[in-house]
Structure 1
Amino acid sequence: MYIDEKLIENLKREQVNLSKKLKLKDKKTVDEIKLVAGIDTTFTNIWENPTTAISCIVVLDIEDNFKEVEVFFAEKIIDFPYIPTFLAYRELPVILEAYKKLKIKPDAFLVDGMGIIHPRKMGIAAHFGVITNQISVGVGKSKLVGEFEMPENKKFSYKPVYVDGELRGYVVRTKENANPVFVSPGNNISVESSLKLVLKCVDRYKLPEPTRRAHNYLQKYRREKIDKN
């Protein structure tokens, strides 16, 4: 796959400029956050380019036994390839299409991907949070960058993640005998509150309930779409 090095350098500069707009202070306390949206994205064929991207946003009331408030999907043809540390340029266009459909305003968004645990502090959750000015938190399933110790095999155990000597988030064991997730602020929330919010959104499964529901809806939607074709 050919990658335009000039384009990559331009995108790096854009990420650095966006990172200057980050707000890593709490816009709301975790106790004030009631409606949490989970965002996940998939593709009809991840190995093709261009391909159809499908995004789902699920809004849950985390104070009412994770009651579903809204569910929206969006589809969009994407021709930007998967390049590590540039996921936002592949997934954000379709995420924003789903975001526009929301009828109510969630208090916070959990995004499947990184927040500031990123070389330029601009993972997809941070990028989304900055351009929408929303409270956002990244929940990544695998390491991108950073130094950390593995948390013990116990639910809700966690260890700090450092990038260039700076605390950027936490690696968190959300379920015993499951691989940990990487939690970091996207925007309008602190590192500590990001952790508290994600722990508050965990039920019986590895993924926080908002992103888990979005993931499950996507899998069903994608299967039905492929079967129709």
Structure 2
Amino acid sequence: MQQLVRMGGLMDQHGVPSLTFRVLGQQGVEDRTVHRAQTEQASVQMQHLWQLCLACPVSNRQAAPGCHARLDYPVDDLALTVLREALLENAAMFTPPADGFVRTLVRMGWDGRRMEQLVRQLGAEPSPVGSAPVPFDLDGRTVNVTPYMVLEHLCFRDRLDPSETLVVGTWYGWFHTALGNRIAESPDPNAAARELFGNSASLGGLAALGQLIRHANQHGLGLLLDG
């Protein structure tokens, strides 16, 4: 929506009724055209969204509307390793309600391949850590879960309803446990935390998303995600 508003400004600047640009779609590079009517509608919706954000208890009330937890792709290896360590912690204590997140991954059909494809589209190679499986015993059968599967669920949704944010928020406890384990190993926890997040921008993005999910749960709200 914000991109459409910016395009409207470009149309006004150059006095044109539309803009054509290229994007990477499912079939490769595609040409798309945006018309002025679309940008005008987006501008109206943007004003409405801004008013909603100002009244939202989860809003960070920054200059632009929305909850600004940003996770850039590809996710770095350190963050992927921490995600795998979180999965290992989860697998070691896998009883209800801890199984809710894994059940959701299975039900949604996440397998990690879409994240691998995205990484390749960005000109990088998928990380072996991202595809490293962690086995879970689910209803008498073994289900392998990878960090890329977790990221697909966190990043490739357009929304999480309140019940889904509760499940994801519960799983985030394992993420914080994995972070805590790393920090606790150091004689200077504060320095260890600074070094950990300083070496991984992706960890900061994942932590910010977890914070938003926690706030959403406190207020019984869902989240809208923009991928």
- TM category, shorter: under 0.3
TM-score (norm 1): 0.23
Decide which structure has greater helix share: 2
TM-score (norm 2): 0.24
